[in-house]
Structure 1
Amino acid sequence: MSGDQRRAVLVLTNTYDATADTVLRILAERRVPVVRVDPGADLYDGASLTARYGRSSRRGTLRTSSREIDLSNIRSVWMRRPSPYEAPPGITGHDAKFAGAQAFWGTGGVLASLTEAQYVNHPWRVRNAEYKPAQLTAAQLSGFLVPDTVITTDPREAREFCADQPTGAVYKPLWDSRYRDPAGAARQVWVREVGPQDITDAVAACPHLFQAKVPKAFDVRLTVVGERQFAARIDGPELDWRRRQDLLAYEPVAVPASVTAAVTSYLTTLDLVFGAFDFAVTESGEWYFLECNPNGQWAWLPPVLSGPIALALADRLQRGPDA
C-alpha cells in the first residue's frame, strides 16, 4: 500500500459503542488502519497524547496500549460517543474540576486541530449544531417546514402559545439532560402534549420549548452521510416514537426533492458531514422538520436500513479529506 492508503482512521468513542463496531468491522475487512480511543477515559489508563508546536513545525503522537500513531498521519476522525472529559480516579474537589477542565481544553483542543484530517463531524461543529435554537434557525433558512415554536421563561407567553395552536401543542426539552425523581430513580423526559392548563409558574425556572403539534401520519428518520441520504419511515403508537421502540415498524421511504435540497442546505449552513434528521409527515405529504442530531444513532434500525448507512460512513472515513 502507498503511504496515503496506510493513513489511519481515528475513532473517538467509548468501549461499549455498538454503532462504531458496525463500521469498524467494514474498515477491518477493507484493511483500513484504525485507531480507536476514548480520550476521556483511555488517557488515564495506559494511553497518552503529546503535541508539539514551534516556529516551523507542528507534530504530535497518540499512544494506546497497542498502537502509536503520528497525528499528521490520520486521514479521518470519527467523533462518535467518547466519554466526557473528567479527572482521573482518585482526584476530587477543586483538583478534579481543574484536571477535567484541562483535559477538555487540552486533549479536546489537540484532537480538534488535526488540519490534515477529515472530521465526521468536527467536535466544535457538533456542539454548535446541538443547540435547538440554532437548529430551528438553520431549518428555516434552508427551506424546511418548521412547526410554530416558542422558547420562553414566561408562563403567560407559554399559555398563550399553547392556547393558540389549533392542532394542540407539545413540550420538548432543549437538551436531553439527566433527570432523577425525588426517589432518585432515573427518568427520561419525553416529548408530550400540553395545554394552557398544564403550564405553571415553574416555566420561569428555565427556558422551555413549546411547539405546535404536527398532525402526523408517520415519522421519518433521515440519516445523511455527505451527499448520501437514507430515509426510514417509522410507524408507531406514541407521540414520541422513541418511547416504545418495541412497537415500531420500519420501511424505506422516498424523500421529496424539496426536502433533499433543504437537507443539503442545512448541512452546509452548519458545516456538517453527518446528520440524523427527524420529520413528522402529514397525511397530505408535508414533511415538518423536528430536529437534527449531528451525532445521532442509527444502528438500532433493521439491517436492511442500517447496513447502507454503515457502508456510507466506512466509505467516507476511508476516503479521508478528499471525500
Structure 2
Amino acid sequence: MTLPSPVLVVTGLDDVTADVVIEELGQRRVPVIRLDPADFPTAVTVNAQVHGSGLVGEVRTRTRIAALDGIRAVYWRRPGPYAAPADLDERDARWCVDQARYGLGGILASLPGAHYVNHPWRNRAAEYKPAQLAAAARCGLRVPPTLLTNDVDAARRFAADHGPVVYKPLYNSDYTDPQGRGMTVWVEEVAPEALDDGVGRTMHLFQQRVDKVADIRLTAVGDRLFAVRIDGSPGLDWRRHYDDLSYELIDTPAGVAESVHDYLGRFGLAYGAFDFGLDAAGEWHWYECNPNGQFAWFPEHITSQIASAIADRLQHPDLDRR
C-alpha cells in the first residue's frame, strides 16, 4: 500500500511511547509507516536517487510504501541496531552493518521537506551530558555544582567541599552481570572515603545532592510544556520506585519556561524530557534533559495530552518548525 504524505515512525517493535502517538495519529486518519532499521535489509527495501531537490525514490516495508520526498514528518524514537544477514561471517557482517548505518541511516536523516521530532543527529548531539550541563548553565537554569573527572583526588576534594554528593552515569549503556542479566547503574550518594582508584579508570560525573521535596519531569513539545510533579519517591532516583509515585500536572515558572525553550533552540530540538529537583523554597534544580525521553508511563490523562501535542507537530509540521 502506497501512503500519501505519511508520518514515518522510526522505532523498534516494543515501544509503548511510539504506540500511543501512532494510535493518536490513526484516530486522526494520518497515514503512518513504521520502520525499524534492524529490519533492513530483510524486510526493508530502499531506492534513492539524487535530483535537484534532493533524494527521491521510495522506502518499502512488508506492508507499506512511501515516497522519500513525500514524507511529511519523522518521529525518531528507539530504532533497533543495524543488522546484517545471518549467513555472513563476522568480518562481512560488520562491513554490511556499517554500510547500512551510513547508507540507510543517512537517507532517513535527509528526507527532503520532512519535519523531525527529533532529528537523529540532533538527538545524538544532545545526549552528551557535558554539553547538556554547559547549555543548561548558559540558558540560566539552576545547575547543582558538578564535577566531571577521572582524578580521584579531585573527586574526593569535591565530595568534601560540596557534600552530600551523588554519582551519575554519563550514559545509560547496556550493562550485564556475569550471568548476562541486564543491570542498571542508578544515581547513588557517595562519600569521599568511598572514592578509590576506580575513579581513574574512566570519566565520572559527581554532583551536589539537591535537598529536594519532590521531583519534576517537564516534557517539552515545541512551545508546549507539560510539567509533572512527582511525589512519593523514598530514594534519590525516583525511577526505582514507580509503584510508590504520584503525579500532578503543575505550572512551569516563566523563567524556567524561557530557559527550557532557549535550551531546545540551542540543540535544535522539537522535543525534550527535562528532569528537575524541587526544593522546599520552590526552586527548580536542573538535572538533565533526555532528548528522546519516555512519557507513556504517566497516568492516561497526562500521557494523552503529550501524545496529542506530538501528533499535532507530526500532522501539521508547518505550524512550528525548528
Q: Give the whole-Å Cα distance in 1 for the aligned partners of 2:251 and 2:85.
A: 48
Q: Which residue of 2 aligns with 1:188?
A: 184
Could you tell me which amino acid in structure 2 is paired with residue 194 of structure 1?
Answer: V
Could you tell me which amino acid in structure 2 is paired with residue 204 of structure 1?
Answer: G
Aligned equivalent of 2:63, options 55, 62, 66: 66
Q: Which residue of 2 aligns with 1:199?
A: 195
Say yes or no: does 1:134 pair with 2:145.
Answer: no
Q: Give the whole-Å Cα distance in 2 for the aligned partners of 1:258 and 1:229.
A: 13
Q: Summarize the alignment of residues 4-23 of structure 1 with structure 2, pairs less than 5 Å apart.
A: 6-23=4-21
Q: Are 1:9 and 1:317, in contact at CA under 8 Å, matched by a contact in 2? A: yes
TM-score, normalising length: structure 2: 0.95
Q: What secondary structure, in the 3-state scheme, does the structure 1 residue paired with 2:316 have?
A: helix
Q: Which residue of 2 aligns with 1:170?
A: 166
Per the TM alignment, residue 321 of structure 1 is displaced from its structure 2 partner at its CA by 3.9
Q: Give the whole-Å Cα distance in 2 for the aligned partners of 1:64 and 1:250.
A: 39
Per the TM alignment, residue 54 of structure 1 is displaced from its structure 2 partner at its CA by 4.7
Q: Which residue of 2 aligns with 1:307?
A: 304
Say yes or no: does 1:26 pair with 2:24.
Answer: yes
Would the alpha carbon gap of residues 221 and 199 (structure 1) be closer, same or farther in structure 2, given more than 3 Å must change? same
Q: Which residue of 2 aligns with 1:106?
A: 103
Q: Are 2:276 and 2:287, in contact at CA under 8 Å, matched by a contact in 1? A: yes
Q: Summarize the alignment of residues 134-153 of structure 1 with structure 2, pairs less than 5 Å apart.
A: 134-153=131-150
Q: Which residue of 2 aligns with 1:294?
A: 291
Q: Are 1:75 and 1:321, in contact at CA under 8 Å, matched by a contact in 2? A: no
Q: Deviations over 1:218-247 (max 9, x none)?
A: 000000100000011111111000011111
Deviates more, 1:292-301 or 1:32-41: 32-41
Q: What secondary structure, in the 3-state scheme, does the structure 1 residue paired with 2:49 have?
A: strand
Q: Give the whole-Å Cα distance in 2 for the aligned partners of 1:309 and 1:174.
A: 27
Could you tell me which amino acid in structure 2 is paired with residue 216 of structure 1?
Answer: K
Q: Give the whole-Å Cα distance in 1 for the aligned partners of 2:300 and 2:229.
A: 14
Q: Are 1:147 and 1:288, in contact at CA under 8 Å, matched by a contact in 2? A: yes
Q: Which residue of 1 aligns with 2:235?
A: 238
- Identity within the alignment, %: 49
Aligned equivalent of 1:216, options 209, 212, 215: 212
Q: Give the whole-Å Cα distance in 2 for the aligned partners of 1:59 and 1:321.
A: 21
Per the TM alignment, residue 94 of structure 1 is displaced from its structure 2 partner at its CA by 1.6
Q: Are 1:76 and 1:321, in contact at CA under 8 Å, matched by a contact in 2? A: no
Structure 2: gaps (5+ residues) = none
TM-score, normalising length: structure 1: 0.95
Per the TM alignment, residue 183 of structure 1 is displaced from its structure 2 partner at its CA by 4.2
Q: Summarize the alignment of residues 71-82 of structure 1 with structure 2, pairs less than 5 Å apart.
A: 71-82=68-79
Would the alpha carbon gap of residues 161 and 187 (structure 1) be closer, same or farther in structure 2, given more than 3 Å must change? same
- The CA RMSD over aligned residues, in Å, is 1.5
Deviates more, 1:69-78 or 1:49-58: 49-58
Structure 1: gaps (5+ residues) = none
Would the alpha carbon gap of residues 321 and 51 (structure 1) be closer, same or farther in structure 2, given more than 3 Å must change? farther
Aligned equivalent of 2:264, options 262, 267, 274: 267
Q: Give the whole-Å Cα distance in 2 for the aligned partners of 1:200 and 1:239.
A: 22
Q: What secondary structure, in the 3-state scheme, does the structure 2 residue paired with 1:170 have?
A: strand
Q: Give the whole-Å Cα distance in 1 for the aligned partners of 2:13 and 2:302.
A: 24
Aligned equivalent of 2:93, options 71, 92, 96: 96
